[in-house]
Every structure is written in structure tokens, then in C-alpha cells.
Chains A and B, each alone.
Chain A
């Protein structure tokens, strides 16, 4: 399939959304920085897939965490960098247990830097 970004460029931009265990964040961030990826958005989120919730009883009260705390990382990268970034996240975020999280990829139509209105990959 011919893939062509707006403006006729040969490559395009992809958004990586990674839901990871909070305890893996520092390692993931450091590893991404080592491969030259520094910009990302981090959000505190809660959720669950197959991983069951967690219940503790304290002084007679149950504290159940159905939606487990995770961190969501979002970054938009030029296509050539995407695979490397995904591999890095996979390598550093993995513990091998249920609850490690997921990575989603989606195409980005346009990116614009607010400060100087640069567009496309130059805005990344």
C-alpha cells in the first residue's frame, strides 16, 4: 500500500500509546531517552484487563482496588523511529506478569508546534 503523509512527504507520523505498570516508568523513560526520544505525555490512569483487582482488609474495612493504577505514555514519532520505540518499551516495561499493560499505535494526520506554527515532522 502506498503510504503518503500530508504535503507529499514519504514518511508519516505515528502515535504510540503505552499503558504500563507505574513501577516500570523510570526504566522506560530512561531507555527511551537513550534512543533519543525525550518528549512524551504521561497520565495517571486506572484500568484493568485480565489482571484481577486487589483487596486488602484494614481494621475491618475492605479496600478493594478494581481499577488498578497504571501510567499512560503518549508520544508522536516519525515512522522510522516507531519500531525502535516500541521495542524499547516492550523490553523495559515487561515483568512477565499479567498486568504489564499494552501498546497501541495510530496514525497522526498532522502535528503543529504552537510556538512557531511549524508543521509535520518538524513540529515533533
Chain B
């Protein structure tokens, strides 16, 4: 027997002593890179010794077998509890058969010495084939390193066998690595901002850096846009050092290959300033939350580096055809401010980089992304980042105003702007208050993400409602589509948890303080501030009501409705609650919870529409309002203001601000001189008409008729009356033929026509005739079934008539006329439209009483006939 293996009783303690020495050096402040290299050297020495001994003991020749280190081991970076990835390379199948028993001895001995061997065996011929279902193996092979055995065999592998196949397989490898990376990122929710991140595999972890390195290596210099600047390389190297230190620490703390940075280990890491370079920074005391901000900063660098390659199509060399036609193509593709950016290959690219020094251009780019859903390219982000990091460059329009931000927040895809703004730290420039929650870890077992990530996810969950991903979202899609003032809802979501980063006991209080500061700086109106204030203050109410109250109890609904006050607020609050729960973690919004939330919304919405005439203003109780209106109306007599307000439904107060009510009061004051007062305002894509006059028969029908005659399609309306019988109707309508838009002089004529018709000075019928045939021209895109229903119980005074029908111009006139013909008085009307569906609620009386059964049946017949 030609000798025997060195006993484990000798080798074991030697290896263990060396491991302990390396560990002590790391824990005394040694660098992660030194630790990884030392562990690799230990593994190399041990593997080579064992391999040599196994060959000797078995009288075997070196020829035909090579040990090849792969993956991290191949890169000479071995973490304390990582596997040794080893390829046993055989010269031939005969060699493989001969060496199998030796390999078993070798592997077993290494295991006994505490090295976890993860091995593969291939013959040289087998290495010529690219295994399409084993991309991970080929990726690991990219880091191959000779470890021991037949060196000539290794040279043949590297310089001859693999050259052709690796070159041919480049597109496949690039595609596979991209796919694997996207799958890995998706497993972690496509975010770096986990409260307990996996420092190897999560986005922003060490795997991201390695994937980027592999992508560059596979591309082999053929991708022009993939070179990093020296500064970027340095940042990436520092980030790798930081994360490597964490990973070593995790391995030593856990005693196994566990890469999750748990809360407990975050505390321990912060105490020792893990990963922080020597000097004052290292000595500074940090809370775990502050230390985690360092972590996220580094993770962002690695993640951004990788995403540049993953998300962007590499710039291909243009063909002749493309070059010749590029000018025409560029002109077609150009959008945006002075052609500073355009869409190329599905990404927003910057055409004129110096133009970005004008912040208005940068924001126009973000607005375009928010409007269209087209993402910014990584190069565009790099260009913006460069400008931000060089304040010595001349910059203008650096103050962002509310109207710029509002456009982004009101768009269909706000997160397409907000995400890059956050990555570039621009979001914190615009909303200083958001800085309080930048990368903020707040420890609880329910939330999965940092506070800022949670806030941005709420917005993404709302965006998704345009095309709901699952059954939980189905009900809420329509709410998102029709919600009024989305910008205020999105602003509320950005600020609602800011208080968690402030030194306050209750985070809602902190968030409200932050709102006041943001509102003052951005110059939000009083109404806007109040609406956002309401949402932040009550953002937990709906969830609490669902969990702690019986939502099928009318009493619960009534209390909740009182707190919410208006349908508009209810809609925004419901969406906010949906998004807030959904963004806690992927499982938080169970179908059960979504259903409960929806049921509460429906019950409350119905409560609003069915109790309009129950809750009326007692003006003498509204002292602050009286004072505000009186003051806003130039010091008007309070008694007169009281008479004006007395008896209006509470909804009137809830949906109009004090300045608006003051403006209505001023119209009311002029009724003596002119018995029909109107105010017309242009809004975004529509007009808003307010009309005040004394009540009279068929008033609602007359106004609706005039609007129909002018080709206006009414989308919303409220009709209220006060105790003195003064009617205040507000109509929101779309100018179908752009009459008023294109002919501003027609506005005065329109208002006069309205006043004259209502006053009886001009007949209505001739106005209607001209438009009748035009309104019947187009067939509906979506057929809506007509439903007519009565509710005699919700109101003590009136019969509620609810109509759901296909919307069309002139519809409200038809309904109003039918009601008038049958002697039905409209106490209150609530008119709304949802796509092609008109939803009308009327509180009707006949001679001061509810409608009789007979009248209801007759009215039903007439309406069915009119509406069919």
C-alpha cells in the first residue's frame, strides 16, 4: 500500500484553527475581501493536499483529470459557509470511469473537514455542448480557475474547447441571464427595500453585482452603452465591500449559509459599524435604522448598475436604412419640450442632454412618463443624475411648483415618474418631507418594506387598477377610473406615513405637520390642503371600521358616513385604504378584506345618496361658516347669509368651500335685480355651471333642455333648494361640439339663453329641435340595461327615484320633462355618469308628500317608454 491519507484527526484541527484565525481577523476589523481570499486559500490548500494524497494512495496518474474551481470559489471569493463549487473535468469517458472512486474519496474527505463540496463532472467532449436547461452551470463556468490535476487538460478546455461554443451561445446566455435575473427580482417583489433583506439574492444584493459582471463578460465588449465610468466602478466596488462584510458577518453569526439580514443582526451590525470605513464615520454611533440607510444606499448602487443592462436594449449599430431614414424617424418620434426627448425602442431617451439643466425640461420628461406609462431609459436617468451631481453647471427653474408636480400626480401612471425621481433623490427635493422616510426601516412583522417603498407601492397598486391583476381589485377599478382629484389622493399617499420618520408619538400627527409644511411651500389652495388633510387624518378609519365594527349595521355606516361627509372623500379614502393595505405585504389584502372594504364603501355611498334630504343645514349652528362666508363676501350681513344657507342639504356644505359658498351668496344677493343668476367656469375638459333662481315647475328639465339644445352632455349635477325655495343647481358638462371652447363670445350668449329660457322669455322647443337628430346618430359602445327603482323608506319626506340608463345627450331633459309632466317636484337631484352609464337619483314629492303607489307606477311606465 503506497502510503495512506493524512488522518482527519490531524487535518481537521489544522483547518479549523485556520478558520478561527481568519474569523478573528475579520471580527477585529479585517476587510471582507481579505477574509474571502483567506478562506479561498485555505480551501485551495486543503483541496490540493487531499487531491494529491488521494492520487498517491490510489497510485493514479494526474493525466485525464482536472479540478476546476467555479463560481465564487473560482473568483477566489469564498464566504465562510459557502459551498466549494468544483468541476471534475475528465479527458474521456474512460478517464471518468477510472477516477470516479477517487473523486468519492476526495469529496468525502473534504466534507469531513467541514468544506461543503458542490460538484459536477463533465468530460471534455461534454463541455462542447451548451445545455439549454442548465444556464446556471455555464454561468458558473465563466469564472473557471485551475485548482489541481491535469493542467494541460484545463488549457485545452479554456483555449480550444469552450471558445467556439461560448461565442455562439452569447445571445442565449445573455437572454438566459436576463431571464434568471428578472425571475430572481420578481421573487423579491422587484424592490431593494425589504425590512429584512437577503444580501445575496435580493435586488441590490451581491448577486446583482455578479450578474452585471457576467453580462459584461458575455457581451465581451460588444455593447457600447455598457461601460461604466471610473466613478461608477469605484462606487460599485465600495458597495461590494460593504455587502461582502455583511454577508461574512451573517455567515459567522448564523453558523450557516443564511444571508438574511434580520432585525437582530441589523442591531448587532449597527453597534459595530459593520462595513463602515475606519475613521470618524466608523466611530459614530448609529441606530439600526440609520445603519440600514447605509445598506440601502449601497444596494441602490448595485441594483441600478444591473438594471441598466437588464431594462435597456443595448444600442445596436444602426443599419444604412436606419441611418438614412433616421431624421424622418426622429422627427416622428419627437415629443416634449423643444424636442429635448423622444421615445426610442419603448423608452424615453434624452436627445438634448444640456437642456436638462432646465429643471422644467426634466419635469416635462417625468410628466411624459407619468402620462404615457413609458419608462425613462437608464441613460436618461444617468444624464439627469450627472446634472444633479454637478451644481456648478448652470441650472434654471430649480424651484418646482405645485402645477408641475400636480400634472405628474394626476396622470395615469404617476409612479413612472415618481420611481426615477426617488432613485435620483429628486423626489426629496420636491417634497422635502419625504426625506424623513427615505429608506426608513420601521420594525414590525406585518410590513415587508421600508416606509418610502411602501408609499410608492400604494401608488403602483392604484395604477394597476386600470387593468386589475386579480379579483381583489375588480370592484375598485371603477372607483379609480372616476375618482375626482387624483393628484390629491396621490399626494396624500406620498405623505401619509411621513410621520413615521419624525419624533412624534402618533405618526398621523407627524404626517399632518408635514402636509402643512409641504402645502405652504407648494402653495396648495385651502381646499386642496383640506382634502389631503382629511385623507391623511382618516387613512386608518376605513380599515378600523371594517375590522372592529359590524359593517352591515346601519348605525355603523351612519357614523362612518358622518365622518367622511361626501361621496368624493369616500371614494378617495376607499382607494387610499385599498392601496395602503395592499402595499403592506403581498398577502395583506386578502380577498376577505377587499370584500369587506367594498361592502363598507357601497353601504356608505348608498347612505349618502339616500339621506340627502334628511340632513339639512341649520344655519344658526354654523357660526364659523357664517363668519367665513360673510367675510369672503365683503363683510355681508350675517343674517342674510343665514337665510341663504338655511335648509340646504349638508352635502352642499360638504362639497363647496367657504369661498365658493360666498360666491354663490353673492349671486343670491343679485336675484332681486336679475332673477336667474349663473356662473360658468371652464375646467379640465369640461365646464361647470352654477345657477341660482327661485324654484318653479319644470325648472330642472328646462335647464337640462337648454344644455342639451346647445349640444352639452351633462356628466354630473346637483340640484338643491334651501328653506326659502331658492334653488342652487350645479352642472358639470362636456361641450361636445366645442362651441364654447372655440367661440368664447358664445359664452355670454349661452348664459343669456339659459336665463331667458328659465325666465320664460325664450321658448325651449326650438333650441331642442336642431340638436335632436345629431344626438341620435351614434350607437353606444357598451350597452347599459335600464333600471328604474323606488325607495320609499330611506327618506321621511320624499320618494327616492333611482335611474340607471344608457347615457346620451338630452337624457336629463327627457327625464326632467317626464317628472315635470307628471307633477313630480324634485327636492334634491344627484346626477352622475360612469362611462356610458347615467346614474340619477331624485328625491321626489308631489304636493309636499311622497309619491303615491299609483304615481310611482305611472311614472315608471312613462320613464320606461321615454328611456327605451
Contacts and interface: CB of A to CB of B under 8 A. Distances in A.
A23 B839 CA distance: 33
Contact of A59 (B546, B595, B603, B839): B839
B606 A57 contact: yes
Interface in B596-636: 596, 598-599, 602-603, 605-606
B834 A65 contact: no
A60 B592 contact: no
A22 B547 contact: yes
Interface stretch (B182-190, B548-556, B577-585): B548-556
Interface string A80-115: 000000000000000100000000000000000000
Contacts of B392: none
A44 B590 contact: yes
Contacts of A65: 595, 599
Given A23-B550, A58-B602, A59-B804, A46 B592 contact: yes
A30 B120 CA distance: 57
Interface in A28-73: 44-46, 54, 56-60, 63, 65, 68-69
A26 B593 CA distance: 16
A44 B592 contact: yes
Interface string A1-35: 00000000000000000000111011000000000
A30 to B, nearest CB: 12
B595 A60 contact: no
A57 B802 CA distance: 11
Give the size category of A's interface with B. Answer: 10 to 19
A60 B605 contact: no
A26 B789 CA distance: 39
A93 B590 CA distance: 23
A63 B599 CA distance: 8
Contact of A56 (B547, B606, B837, B839): B606
Contact of A69 (B549, B596, B784, B837): B596
Contact of B595 (A26, A58, A69): A69
A44 B804 contact: no
Contacts of B605: 58
Given A59-B837, A69-B595, A25 B547 contact: yes
A4 B787 CA distance: 66
Nearest to A70: B592
Contacts of A59: 804, 834, 837, 839
B582 to A, nearest CB: 16
Contacts of A46: 592
A45 B785 CA distance: 34
A124 to B, nearest CB: 22
Contacts of B596: 22, 69
B787 A60 contact: yes
Nearest to B551: A23
A57 B551 CA distance: 15
Contacts of B785: 60
Contact of B550 (A21, A44, A60): A21
Contact of B804 (A22, A25, A56, A60): A60
Contacts of A63: 598-599, 602
B72 to A, nearest CB: 32
A32 B755 CA distance: 69
Contacts of A25: 547-548
B839 A60 contact: yes
A55 B550 CA distance: 15
**Among B551, B592, B785, B787: residue with most chain A CB under 10 A:** B592
A57 B794 CA distance: 14
Interface in B316-374: none
Contacts of B595: 65, 69
Contact of A60 (B551, B602, B837): B837
A31 to B, nearest CB: 15
A104 to B, nearest CB: 21
Given A23-B550, A26-B548, A56 B592 contact: no
Nearest to A44: B592
B110 to A, nearest CB: 32
A114 B409 CA distance: 49
Interface in B761-800: 784-785, 787, 789
A6 B516 CA distance: 65
Contacts of B551: 23
Contacts of B839: 59-60
A69 B839 CA distance: 29
A48 B590 CA distance: 19
Contacts of B547: 22-23, 25-26
A40 to B, nearest CB: 16
Contacts of B550: 21, 23, 95
B595 to A, nearest CB: 7
A62 to B, nearest CB: 10
A102 to B, nearest CB: 17
Given A56-B606, A59-B839, A23 B599 contact: no
Contacts of B592: 44-46, 69
A26 B548 CA distance: 7
Contact of B552 (A54, A58, A60): A54
A25 B544 CA distance: 12
A25 B598 CA distance: 20
Nearest to B556: A23
A23 B549 contact: yes
A4 to B, nearest CB: 39
A77 B837 CA distance: 56
A54 B599 contact: yes
B836 to A, nearest CB: 12
A44 B837 contact: no
Contacts of A23: 547-551
**Among A23, A26, A45: residue with most chain B CB under 10 A:** A23
B639 to A, nearest CB: 41
Nearest to B784: A60
B548 A56 contact: no
Contacts of A26: 547-548
A65 B843 CA distance: 28
Contacts of A21: 550
Given A22-B547, A23-B548, A23-B550, A56 B602 contact: yes
Contacts of B548: 22-23, 25-26
Nearest to A43: B592
A44 B549 CA distance: 15
A6 to B, nearest CB: 34
Interface of A: 21-23, 25-26, 44-46, 54, 56-60, 63, 65, 68-69, 95
Given A21-B550, A22-B596, A44-B592, 8 more contacts: A22-B548, A23-B550, A25-B548, A56-B599, A56-B606, A57-B606, A69-B592, A69-B595
Nearest 3 CB-CB pairs, A to B? A60-B804, A44-B592, A58-B602
15 contacts: A22-B548, A22-B596, A25-B547, A44-B590, A46-B592, A54-B599, A56-B602, A56-B606, A58-B602, A58-B606, A60-B785, A63-B599, A63-B602, A65-B595, A68-B552
Interface of B: 546-552, 590, 592-593, 595-596, 598-599, 602-603, 605-606, 784-785, 787, 789, 804, 834, 837, 839
